[in-house]
Structure 1
Amino acid sequence: MAEPSRPLRVLIATDTYPPDVNGAGYFAHRLAEGLAGRGHRVHVVCPSEVGDPYVTVDGAVTEHRLRSARLPFQPSMRAAVPLGMGGHITRLLRRFDPDVVHAQSHFTLSRSAMHRGRAEGIPVVLTNHFMPDNLYAHARVPRSMQSAVGALAWKDMVRAAGEADHVTTPTPRAAGLLREKGFAREVEAVSCGIDLERFHPRPRDRSAARARFGLPDRDTVVFVGRLDAEKRIDDTIRALARILPERDAQLALAGIGAREQELRALAAELGVADRVFFLGFVPDEDLPLVYAAGDAFAIAGVAELQSIATLEAMSTGLPVVAADAMALPHLVEVGRNGFLFPPGDPESLADRLLSVLGSERTRRSLGEASREIALRHDHHRSLERFESVYVRLQGATPVPLRAEREFSARPVAV
């Protein structure tokens, strides 16, 4: 494995970054912090969470927050304003002179950074976290149009990925999907990784963690993530209603999203409102306590390219019940650390939950296996792999396209 002979200079470009709540943003943040912790110089360019642009130093990471505006259908989310973006990124590249640009999406800001990086002769890495299914609800795409919109979105993604010198994605399933959609070059699967020291089994903290979130002391199924349509949390609530005659159980949902009121209404309709706890936004520093409060983790989503939350739950030692969809089967060894269920089948989900909530001995055995599987996803391994990619690309810096060089030289107002 290639080792850096000196601290690297890495520019991470991302269209979402904390305080945004999503897997891609969290990964970008952990990557930045992890690389900085290994002695590298790391700058992040991302949208401003307050609208106005600013630069700040967060620990060892320098953040360049670009001017942003609220998205039309998602007032809680912001996107960088295109006007002046290219010129700002070009000046940042020339001042910082990074060894590599690592983009976290193919959207506006990340794409501009990729394009400008190539124009400056800087190697570009792209990590794909994209699934059209995660955008349909946000953009309010009618179901009748989703197939056509998805095909166009994938075509655009593949075209943008062609600008990168190296493309990664979190799992083999996600890499295979990108190839299925027409990307002809190599795609490397590099796990998003998990901080095994931060997320670890802590059974002695269970009662205190439940008290911290106002949860009664009973069997607890947890979910961490956005309360949005593609997560299919309604299936988990329906499953909970089915298991209550047999188990004294409850569901704790940590996260916010557009469907919260619908989910509350569903819980009331099914007569389980007193068993579904909406914890709201949980600060990153408190997330380990959410998992510590649980006996099992359930995820019903069908658009997961890896699922960092599932990895966190596994690292904490929780059994997992997951939809048999996309990359989730990569994390579940059926009967060893949990079970899969057919997507959209609350009855099967309920049956699997009853299995993992069985005896204390069963839970402990499944949880120990979850932890063992999570060890394969140590974020230090992921950081080492990205370091190796960066070092290798330094010896094969691309020659900028003439048109790109001319484009980058044009004056751009900021």
Structure 2
Amino acid sequence: MSVHTSPLAALGGRDTGGMNVYIRQLARELAARGTHVDVFTRLSDPNIPRIQHDVSGFRVLSVPAGPEQAVTREELHELLPRVIASIEDLARAEDATYDVLHSHYWLSGLAARQLTNLWQVPWAHMSHTLALLKDEHRGPFQQPETALRREGEDAVLRSADGVVASNEIERRELVDRYGLAPSRIHVAPCGVDLGLFCPESGLENHATARQRIGRNSDERIVLYVGRIEPLKGLDTLLAASALLRDRVPGLKLLIAGGSHTSDEPTERELARLNAIAGSLGLHDVVEFLGPKSQAELPDLYRAADVCAVPSRYESFGMAALESLACGTPVVASRTGGLQSTVRDGRNGYLAPIGDEHVFAERLASVLCESRLARRLGEEAARTALRYSWQRVADANLGVYHNLLAPDRTEVPLEVGADLGM
């Protein structure tokens, strides 16, 4: 269940990102194994069919509730009773019954909390981001999370039959910050499409990718992929780039992200970042590429010398894993789930949150030391092999089977050790 955004939505908008990829790829893998998967979401575009069939066999069921356009989180919260009623109506019309509910994000969790009682089925919940941690690390220009979200998220986490964390770090936060019993938390990682995100052979990885996307061979490319919002810490990356421009000939900072449609928060942050870039004299270094599809991203990662993830908070960090899978080292903030995939000094580097000086030094190490960069890249690709969607599906099926067991006791499913977490 993904009430606020469809897994089939185009990436790049304010409500689309790693969670959309996660739900889509997990549903595809489960469907490929013969599991019937329906994903319920609110209808937010009149041009989208009410029932969409993905090529792999899972369905996205878009239910009417309020205006057929994007709404704010607060507006969607008000619409939840209509969302729940529409889900019930559509499930009844389709004569659909389910064995387990899996909600994603707090708004979906609030809907699932009612449906689990109506349908008498167990319920697993995955938050993807946590309000307390977002607030703790929010940037100076970012609004705090609303009391509505904080209270709703807390209610969901305390009510779900099982809570899914993407790594051991998130599990500890759920115990320490939210007071959840460890026995209710199951660790199931995020994943990456290893058929799409993979390195090309040998030294051709950068060269051929750069030819395909029209980049010069003498450029030293730092890549950022993700949403354009203050929490992502792009101001830190711009400041680090200013420290590097005289040290690294041919330096380019490519920023892939943004919205396909008019989005005031994104446009406001883009304007702020452009102003910072101008004040730092970086307009010949920084290029804003706009949103990119999943199919376009692999060549961007392969063409880059290093991928930067300067986020103030990431529960997991899908872009880091995609970059690693393409054999491109990552320099990331030492925060959240990034610490579970980026191994400091092995497949990239971790830097203190918001510290442009350390970020610059770590980026310089990768950009200026070719043997080091090659070693980090080789280990990066090896790291990603542990995160196939097949393993992610295995882990989630384990959660479902645990919740469905007739003699179930609250024993957490352990998969983190298998992934070297």
Question: What's the TM-score, normalizing by structure 1?
Answer: 0.83
Question: Which residue of structure 1 aligns with residue 38 of structure 2?
Answer: 43
Question: Which residue of structure 2 aligns with residue 32 of structure 1?
Answer: 27
Q: How does 1:62-141 map to 2 (within 5 A)?
A: 62-67=59-64, 68-72=68-72, 81-82=79-80, 84-94=82-92, 95-107=95-107, 109-132=108-131
1:276 aligns with 2:286: yes
More strand by share: 1
Q: Distance in 1 between matches of 2:291 and 2:367?
A: 26
1:15-39 Cα distance to aligned partner (Å, 9 max, x none):
2232252111221111112211222
Give the letter aligned to residue 348 of structure 1. V
Give the letter aligned to residue 234 of structure 1. D
Question: Which residue of structure 1 aligns with residue 261 of structure 2?
Answer: none
Question: Which residue of structure 2 aligns with residue 238 of structure 1?
Answer: 239
Question: Which residue of structure 2 aligns with residue 16 of structure 1?
Answer: 5
SS of equivalent to 1:200: coil
RMSD: 3.0
**More divergent stretch after superposition (47-56 vs 276-285):** 47-56
Q: Distance in 2 between matches of 1:382 and 1:247?
A: 39
Give the letter aligned to residue 326 of structure 1. G
Question: Which residue of structure 2 aligns with residue 285 of structure 1?
Answer: 295
Q: Residue 188 of structure 2 is aligned with which of 177, 187, 190?
A: 190
Question: Which residue of structure 2 aligns with residue 304 of structure 1?
Answer: 314
1:374 aligns with 2:374: no
1:61 aligns with 2:58: yes
Q: CA deviation at 1:155?
A: 4.5
Q: CA deviation at 1:41?
A: 1.5
Q: Distance in 1 between matches of 2:31 and 2:329?
A: 33
Question: Which residue of structure 1 aligns with residue 357 of structure 2?
Answer: 347
Q: Distance in 2 between matches of 1:49 and 1:25?
A: 15
Q: CA deviation at 1:154?
A: 4.1
> Taking structure 1 as reference, are residues 299 and 210 closer, same or farther at Cα in structure 2, changes over 3 Å only?
same
Q: Distance in 2 between matches of 1:304 and 1:269?
A: 28
Give the letter aligned to residue 188 of structure 1. H
Check the 8 A contact 1:105/1:111 in 2, yes or no.
no
Q: How does 1:220-235 map to 2 (within 5 A)?
A: 220-235=221-236
Question: Which residue of structure 2 aligns with residue 250 of structure 1?
Answer: 252
Q: CA deviation at 1:393?
A: 2.6
1:32-90 Cα distance to aligned partner (Å, 9 max, x none):
1221122221111113341577222222121111234433599xx98894352222222
Check the 8 A contact 2:44/2:70 in 1, yes or no.
no
SS of equivalent to 1:70: coil
Q: CA deviation at 1:212?
A: 4.5
> Taking structure 1 as reference, are residues 142 and 367 closer, same or farther at Cα in structure 2, changes over 3 Å only?
closer
Using the aligned pairs only, state the percent identity: 27
Check the 8 A contact 2:221/2:306 in 1, yes or no.
yes
Q: Distance in 1 between matches of 2:371 and 2:254?
A: 23
Q: CA deviation at 1:357?
A: 1.4
Question: Which residue of structure 1 aligns with residue 215 of structure 2?
Answer: 215
In structure 1, stretches of 5+ residues that fail to align are 1-11, 399-414
